[in-house]
Structure 1
């Protein structure tokens, strides 16, 4: 990911499976996992947390 702080823009690779959270001008990349789920917790219109649960197959 390439960012330009002056222009407040970011360039991302669309061939990569990822989730990006933007909060207060800061970008956080949430990497993919093999199995599981991610939940985003919102408060007053802002992202508060992201919760990750991973599933293991046997």
Structure 2
């Protein structure tokens, strides 16, 4: 195992998810509602699919 490490500093008081791909860090920010699905291909993250669920509470339009 090679020790070619790079370090990143993240804020542990903030809700978020992180993806490391090809040595680069991508922050996935927290949303109020919904879900994030990570799509993998050949052992690497390809996409993040963001979905939002909206609760119906008598709105005229959503």
Using the size of structure 1 for normalisation, the TM-score is 0.82
| Residue 60 (structure 2) aligns with | none
Greater than 4 Å deviation, 4+ residue runs:
none
| Residue 44 (structure 2) aligns with | 46
- How many residues align? The count is 52
| Residue 23 (structure 2) aligns with | 25
Residue 13 of structure 2: SS of its match in structure 1? coil
Q: Distance in 2 between matches of 1:47 and 1:38?
A: 13
Residue 27 of structure 1: SS of its match in structure 2? strand
CA RMSD after TM alignment = 1.1
Contiguous gaps of at least 5 residues in structure 1: 1-6
Using the size of structure 2 for normalisation, the TM-score is 0.77
